[in-house]
């Protein structure tokens, strides 16, 4: 089944404790991205990647890092999480030339 998976689905952590949210897709998509969703603000893009070893900032990249060492994986790294990064995070992927993005199920992160 074609899908985007994210792990973990729920995470509660403390300020400053490094964490990684994994994202994997099995559709051989070139393009992957991370969004965060906050009440009243909709979804905002954090980082995106157009292919392996090619990443770029989205609209709200501060406090986040990403890497794209393999085509299927695009982890989101929070080196020193803060409470303002409490949010619902979505990973998405698509073919570079396609119009349809596929979204993962979301990761709800709480930073206390």
Partner 1 sequence: DAKTTQPNSMESNEEEPVHLPCNHSTISGTDYIHWYRQLPSQGPEYVIHGLTSNVNNRMASLAIAEDRKSSTLILHRATLRDAAVYYCILSRHQTGANNLFFGTGTRLTVIP
- DSSP class of residue 61 equals -
12 to 51: interface string for partner 1, x by CB under 8 A: -------------------x-x-x----xxxxxx--x-x-
Count the Cβ atoms, other than its own, within 10 Å of residue 1.
3
Would you say 85 or 94 has its CB closer to partner 1?
A: 94
The distance between the two most distant Cα atoms of the chain, rounded to a whole number of Å, is 40
Size of the site for partner 1 (CB under 8 A): 27
What token pair was written down for 33?
A: 């991205």
Would you say 19 or 88 has its CB closer to partner 1?
A: 88
**What are the φ/ψ torsions at residue 5 (nearest 5 degrees)?**
-115, 145
Q: Considering only 19-27, 52-60, 68-76, 78-86, which stretch makes contact with partner 1 by CB under 8 A?
A: 52-60
Cα distance between residue 46 and residue 63, in whole Å:
10
Candidates 111, 99, 104; CA nearest to 9 is 104
Binding residues among 59-98 for partner 1 as defined by CB under 8 A: 59, 90, 92, 94, 96
Contact residues for partner 1 (CB under 8 A)? Answer: 4, 31, 33, 35, 40-45, 48, 50, 56, 58-59, 90, 92, 94, 96, 99-106
């Amino acid at each position: 089944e074609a899908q985007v998976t994210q792990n973990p689905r729920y995470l509660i952590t403390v300020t400053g404790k490094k964490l990684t949210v994994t994202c994997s897709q099995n559709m051989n998509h070139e393009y992957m991205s991370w969004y965060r969703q906050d009440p009243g603000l909709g979804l905002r893009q954090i980082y995106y990647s157009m292919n392996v070893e090619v990443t770029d900032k989205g609209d709200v990249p501060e406090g986040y890092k990403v890497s794209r060492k393999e085509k299927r994986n695009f982890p989101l790294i929070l080196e020193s999480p803060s409470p303002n990064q409490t949010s619902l995070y979505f990973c998405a992927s698509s073919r570079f030339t396609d119009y349809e993005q596929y979204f993962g199920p979301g990761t709800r992160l709480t930073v206390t």
